[in-house]
Amino acid sequence: MDKSVRFIKSKTKFRPKIAVILGSGLGDFAETLSDKKIIGTSSIPNYPRSTVVGHKGKIIFGKLGKIQLMVFQGRVHYYETGSIETILYPIRIAHALGIKILLVTNAAGGVNSTFKPGDIMLIEDQINLTFENPLKGIAPPIHHTQLYEPSLQNLIRNVAKKKKIALRSGIYCGIKGPSYETAAEIKMIRNFGADAVGMSTVNEVSLAVSLGIKVAGLSCITNLSTGILNQKLSHQEVTEVANMVKHVFSELIAGFIQKIGKVYLLTFQ
């Protein structure tokens, strides 16, 4: 960890307080930043490697207006490595670099039958069905009342309303993958109360909050899950739909970050 952090600090003078994790097919937001410094994660000592299409494996430091950002262009999934620590490593890096606010994004399957591909869902809460414990070894034990910061959720809602972006809200369920769920599993997940399902996010968020980082989350609904529509699912479909809505998604993220700049950043000085 120390080697990773030292390497990153040697590559940029930026010390942002806000980080964004960009999920499958959603990496283009990073291209809107100015004064960019791009660091390939393959060059960072000890940093886990991303192997999935749509995850570019880059950390980008840059500015949105006057606001400095750290953007993870892609993430590592549990099914790529079989290690919970590789999923959590970027969060530990972000914390060590002084990140105070984290926006997580992902591509997800719609479990709520009223959703449609291309919808954007504000994550209000989560269900962890990975059966992994990201807080193992953390003492004293952390008791969460709200993982996703309500004030940040309200900022996103306000931005969406102002920009006339349709915004769903719901519960995200995280599983290990890499296989898609069966129709029976989707029925179970729906009965548990989830509105969307994916293969990331839940462990990252739990650790980030336990470290004192305020978290907000957005899912791009790229497909409806097995049993809701009678069609095959594929990762290609996921990235194609994400690409279709990437401009609206980026607009929402940018508006949210600009709002944070006005509401939060003075508290970090």
The residues carrying an active-site annotation are 24, 55, 77, 79-80, 107, 199-200, 223, 235
- Distance between CA atoms of residues 93 and 267, nearest Å: 22
Neighbour-count burial of 49, counting CB atoms closer than 10 A to its CB (0-12 exposed, 13-18 middle, 19+ buried): exposed
Neighbour-count burial of 229, counting CB atoms closer than 10 A to its CB (0-12 exposed, 13-18 middle, 19+ buried): middle
CA distances 267 to 57, 103, 111, 260, Å, are: 31, 18, 38, 11
Which residues partner with 102 through β-bridges?
Answer: 19, 215
Is-contact 190 172, C-beta < 8 A? no
Which residues partner with 169 through β-bridges?
Answer: 122
Exposed e or buried b per residue across 158-175, where buried means at least 16 C-beta atoms within 10 angstroms of its C-beta: ebbeeeebebbebbbbbb
Three-state DSSP at 67 gives strand
Three-state DSSP at 55 gives coil
Write out the two tokens for 184.
């029976």
Amino acid at 3: K
